Amino acid sequence: MTIRELTQQIRQKKSYLCVGLDSDIAKIPRHLHSSADPVFEFNKQIIDATLGFCVSYKINTAFYESRGVKGWESLEKTIRYIPGTHFTIADAKRGDIGNTSSHYAKAFFEELNFDAVTVAPYMGADSIQPFLEYENKCTIVLGLTSNAGAKDFELLPAGNERLYEKVLRTVSQWGTPGNLMFVIGATQADEFVNIRRILPDHYFLVPGVGFQGGSLKDISEKAMNDQVGLLVNVSRAIIFAGEKEDFAAEAANIASQYQKEMSSYL
């Protein structure tokens, strides 16, 4: 799915919700543990329940990689289960020298056929360029994150601007709004007006709504552009809304609430 097609889906569904499949095996309902693949069974039911309320799914690869081969199998089955009507993101935060990045890009864009992957910009242009070479794929670059440690580097002065601002301006020249998105944390709501001035046309992937306390209203009012330009990720608040056998219905209920609120801002 391309960025243009994503925008069409957002308009049709009146939703810019991305459901994060941070599927920690220690937190999924107990009754699923007797399944052959508990994490995939959990994801499958979450996807079935939330499909109509979201436009995207983000798989945080750490929750799968930490389980070795079994986790990787769960990830593969999950990405293949998500229908092509939804924008798929590998939240892998990769970034390395060119040859290594080329293999990372091949893994996520060719082998697993994700629509997008998150990358870290610290090593510069040659670490990101291999991802940008893929036509109709999207590279999502860490911009201003929602964690407390953002102040350690991202918010430091860099000449007449802050480091994260320099990153946004520089990286935006390496691609286009059609193949580049940026991660901007919801807890940095006060920065969104400034960020939108720097990047008027790009999409932002916005984590931090839900358990981290980011305001969907603030983000929508300060960061939306005429193409919507927002993909708001909610993970734990949706997928772990319920702990019993009706967990998927509970997830659907929360996802529908987010979709309803989003529709009021479009």
Query: What span, in angstroms and rounded, lies between the C-alpha atoms of 91 and 64?
Result: 11
Query: What span, in angstroms and rounded, lies between the C-alpha atoms of 167 and 198?
Result: 11
Strand 161-162 relative to strand 157-158, pairing: antiparallel
- The residue annotated as part of the active site, out of 70, 93, 166, 222, is 93
Alpha helices for the chain (secondary structure H): 3-13, 38-50, 62-65, 68-81, 98-105, 125-132, 150-153, 163-171, 192-198, 216-223, 236-239, 247-265
Q: What single-letter DSSP state applies at residue 26?
A: T
Residue 44: active-site member: no
Q: What is the maximum span of the chain, computed from C-alpha positions, in angstroms?
A: 58
Nearest to 180 by CA among 192, 167, 193, 190: 167
Nearest to 131 by CA among 150, 110, 156, 149: 110
- Would you name the residues annotated as active-site residues? 93
